[in-house]
Each structure stands twice: as C-alpha cells, then as structure tokens.
Structure 1
Amino acid sequence: MYSQYKSSSNGGIESGVREREVAVANKRSMRGCDVVLRFLALALGFAAAVVFGVNKETEMVAVTLVASLPPVNIPATAKWNYLSAFKYFVVANAIACGYAAISLVLTLANRNGRKGITTLVIILDLVMVALLFSALGAAGAIGLMAKQGNSHVQWNKVCDLFDKFCERGAASIGLSGAAAVAFFVLVVLAIFNLHKKH
C-alpha cells in the first residue's frame, strides 16, 4: 500500500514537472520563432526597398519624328520614382522594415509577455500584412502592364526594352512577398498562441 501511494505521488510530481518543462520549452521556441521571423521580415523588407530604390536603367530608343526621315535615337530612362505605384511599393517596404526593427526590439524587451505590448504588436503585424500585400498588388499590376502592354489604352510593352529594370523589379516584388508572408505567419502564430492560452 505504501509503495502504491509512493509511486502515484511521484508520478504526479513528475508529470507536473514535465508539463511545466514542456510549457517553458514551447514558450521559448515560440519566442525564438517570433524573433527569427521578425528578423527575416526586416531583412527581406530592407532588401526589397533597396533593390527597387536603386533600380534604374537607361536605353536608346528609336523615335520617328517625320515619316520621311530616319528614326532618331533618344535616351530613355526607367526609374522607380516615375510611377506612383512604385513609389508606394518602396515606401511601404521601408515602413515595414522600420516597423520590423521596432517590433523586434519590443519583442526582445517584453520577456514577461505583457498583454498590452503583445496586443499592440499583433495589431501592427496585421497592418503590415495589409500594407505589404496592397503594395505588392499595386507594383505587380504596373509590372504586368509593363511586361505585357495593353492595346486598349495604347500602352506598349516596356520590359522588352528595359529588361534589367523589369528583372530587378520582379526580384524586389518577390522579396517583398516573402516579407509579407513572414508577417502573416507571425499573425497566425500569435492567434494560435492566444487560442492555446484560452
């Protein structure tokens, strides 16, 4: 009888200790995942803003002024700040990059897990998801127009001439998309973590 009591008592203590250890390990792994994703979003957003921000290409374009004369070669430049959608894209990525840096500091400083700071960070993560996906839509729409043209509005294909500009733009859109996904995963993890607590 004593041995039965002793084994059940130890079993209860050990299981309680194990549950606490698992909870602490889960909390640490969630915090580590959170930090890694924020750093990833910071790096990707910074890279997207810089790649598109320095994106510029100049090419010679043959322009026919008079039908009876030969075409004249004129230098034409493609630059990110010539279109408002590309300006929005660069600024949105710069904002997301700055926010990722601030939220990384807040996450590292908030070791106690204060609800006010955690809730604010989750809401702002969601705002960054919306901001980046809207910027991706704007830049992607103009990029698609530049690649395929549009005969209805008489827009010619631009990427045939400015191929490097379009390639760098596509790379920047890909980097920004990865940053948006990182913020989205942060929101999903935060919701999952809140659901687990309740």
Structure 2
Amino acid sequence: MVAATVLGVAKQTKVVPIKLIPTLPPLNVSTTAKASYLSAFVYNISANAIACGYTAISIVIVMISKGKRSKSLLMAVLIGDLMMVALLFSSTGAAGAIGLMGRHGNKHVMWKKVCGVFGKFCNQAAVSVAITLIASVVFMLLVVLDALKLP
C-alpha cells in the first residue's frame, strides 16, 4: 500500500515556457504532472491496492483456519499468490517503462525528457516502482514457501 500511496499523492506543478513562433517570446504555461494522467501509473496504483487487499483477506482466512489447513486451502492461497505476483510484476513493468520514458525521452519519436522539469514527481514515481518491485519479489518468495507446504 506504501507504493500506491507514494504514487497516488505524487503531484508537481511547474511553469513551462512554450515557444510558439521563433520571433515571439515564449508563453509561460502552468503545467501539472500527476499519476492519474498516465494509465500505467493508475494501473500500478490499482495493482498495489489489489495486492494489499488480497494480502489482508488471505491473512485473515489463513488465521481463521489455522488448525485445519486443507490441501485445497493451501492450493487456493498458492494460486492467489501467483496471481498477485503476475499482477505486481506487470504493473512494475508498465510503470517502469513510462518512468524511463519520462526520464530519458525517446529520440526516435521526438518525445522529450520530462523529469528535468518534474523532478520531484519523477523521483516519487521511481520510489513507487522500486517498492512495487520489492513487493513482487516478496510475493514470489511467498509462492515458493506455499509450494513447499503442499503435501
């Protein structure tokens, strides 16, 4: 949930000079960068929230059935954990790709770097992607532990 919160509150407003005609002075325009403007970031926030909700629910279910864990319950938890691994890794890839595009731009299609202007926003997005990657690895380790528990 930390990654979703960090990215969800990331917002930065800057005044950006835009040159319309070479002979005229630039026009200063206030521009805002926030996660809701990029679908990959919205996906990352949603994936983190879903994984957090799933974790809370699965902890409650496992705690309730502590003495009577069946093979079907362990298999259900394993499948759920696998789904969270896939969800988190895919959202990490999506948000990471957009983040790299913002940091480095793309000369082939003439997309400019935006992290030079929106540095704080880009740093918050990078931290969120890093936290999501760590969460993905933790879930992957949980899958391994779940698989080892199967009879």
- Corresponding residue for 1:170? 126
For residues 54-133 of structure 1, the aligned pairs below 5 Å read 54-111=9-66, 112-133=68-89
- In 1, Cα distance between equivalents of 2:101 and 2:93: 12
- In 1, Cα distance between equivalents of 2:61 and 2:79: 14
- Residue-by-residue CA offset, 1:95-121 (whole Å, 9 max, x unaligned): 101101101111111212122222111
Q: How many residues align?
A: 150
Are 1:141 and 2:127 matched, yes or no?
no
> One-letter code of the match for 1:177?
L
Listed as ranges, the gaps of 5+ residues in structure 1 are 1-45
Please, what is the CA RMSD of the aligned residues? Answer: 0.9
TM-score for both structures, normalised by structure 2 = 0.96
> One-letter code of the match for 1:64?
K
> One-letter code of the match for 1:171?
V
Shift of 1:193: 2.3
Q: Which has the higher helix share?
A: 1
- In 1, Cα distance between equivalents of 2:77 and 2:61: 8
- In 1, Cα distance between equivalents of 2:92 and 2:65: 31
- In 1, Cα distance between equivalents of 2:70 and 2:23: 76
Q: Which runs of 4+ in 1 moved over 3 A?
A: none
Listed as ranges, the gaps of 5+ residues in structure 2 are none
The answer on whether the counterparts of 2:77 and 2:146 sit within 8 Å (CA) in structure 1 is no
Highest CA radius of gyration, 1 or 2?
1
Identical counterparts, % of pairs: 51
